[in-house]
Structure 1
């Protein structure tokens, strides 16, 4: 780890306030990128609010949100993100075969048009930094405008998450093993 989270015993009042805000919310704890961001409490507070929306407030159902998050973890080779969200994705109803195909870097055989479109949007956006007209039109037809906007926002947030995890080399928790294939 290049940068450890601030020591909980020496948090500034602002860091303590943001730490407690995050810990008392639906996450229940402060770990991973949120812990790193505590070095800059305003960043942590602002980013956690966006993250709370992306995780718990979008128009995407949890199965589609978690599919998108796992796709972002694979794109960024973010082991921590994969570790954190794989069980959530499975609990949300994403098929184990789909999760395994994603882990291997393969395009899964999706059970719905929504899943296929979410995967196509995330992977295309990550690779090409835009969506071709045909994919945009299909995504808007399948997901609708609100869910498409939320999906793009989720991709942006999980890019920030993954960049933070990768740049600061946030390790997996003790006892967890890497699952993503090497580059």
Structure 2
């Protein structure tokens, strides 16, 4: 069954065009993937992309930890487009190829850095139990600090929305890449 398709430039309303141009002129440089789906509802696209800009570019999390969290979210939701889009960014940000590969195949990575281990454990437990234990919360505070814990929850929430959008509307890599994520 065909799902929602991105709007063509000539199909955009003035409000959609304004949101499109704001996204395209920002750090993303283009409108694709879930953002293209949200553009069907300009109000959602405008607000969601603003949250996404904060979560991805302006949060207290360094890119290495933010991108690690995004990969864990992509794997959790089996969101291929998100994996495809963020795997190269995560590697460039310093997430090791061994960690990326373990996440891809559904295995718990061996971490050498405590901040990466706590991000992985936090996101994994949050999705498995819909909460985190007091012990893990305290560990996250001790390792990351309050600001990064708050931003980590924000990243998890935003990329849950991203992943649901990808999965519901069948968003796939634009270059036709084969799926990489394996069922555990």
Q: Fold-level match, TM-score > 0.5?
A: yes
Deviation, structure 1 residue 175: 3.0
Aligned length: 183
Do structure 1's residue 86 and structure 2's residue 92 form an aligned pair? Answer: no
Find the aligned partners of 2:46 and 2:163 in 1 and give their Cα distance: 17
Deviation, structure 1 residue 172: 1.9
Do structure 1's residue 110 and structure 2's residue 99 form an aligned pair? Answer: no
- Kindly report the root-mean-square deviation, in angstroms, between the aligned alpha carbons of the 2 structures: 0.9
Find the aligned partners of 1:141 and 1:125 in 2 and give their Cα distance: 18
Find the aligned partners of 1:35 and 1:80 in 2 and give their Cα distance: 13
For residues 121-144 of structure 1, what are the alpha-carbon distances to aligned partners after superposition, in whole Å with 9 as ceiling and x for unaligned? Answer: 000001100011111111111111
Deviation, structure 1 residue 90: 0.3
For residues 124-177 of structure 1, what are the alpha-carbon distances to aligned partners after superposition, in whole Å with 9 as ceiling and x for unaligned? Answer: 001100011111111111111000000000000000000000011112213311
Find the aligned partners of 1:25 and 1:123 in 2 and give their Cα distance: 31
2:21 corresponding residue in structure 1: 20
Written as runs of structure 1 = structure 2, the 5 A alignment for 1:100-139 is: 100-139=101-140
For residues 72-96 of structure 1, what are the alpha-carbon distances to aligned partners after superposition, in whole Å with 9 as ceiling and x for unaligned? Answer: 0000000000000000000000000
SS of 1:127's partner is: helix
**Structure 2, unaligned runs of 5 or more:** none
For residues 97-127 of structure 1, what are the alpha-carbon distances to aligned partners after superposition, in whole Å with 9 as ceiling and x for unaligned? Answer: 0000000111111121000000000000011
SS of 2:5's partner is: coil
TM-score, structure 1 as length reference = 0.98
SS of 2:60's partner is: coil
1:36 corresponding residue in structure 2: 37
1:50 corresponding residue in structure 2: 51
**Structure 1, unaligned runs of 5 or more:** none
Written as runs of structure 1 = structure 2, the 5 A alignment for 1:61-72 is: 61-72=62-73
Moved over 4 A (4+): none
Deviation, structure 1 residue 182: 3.2
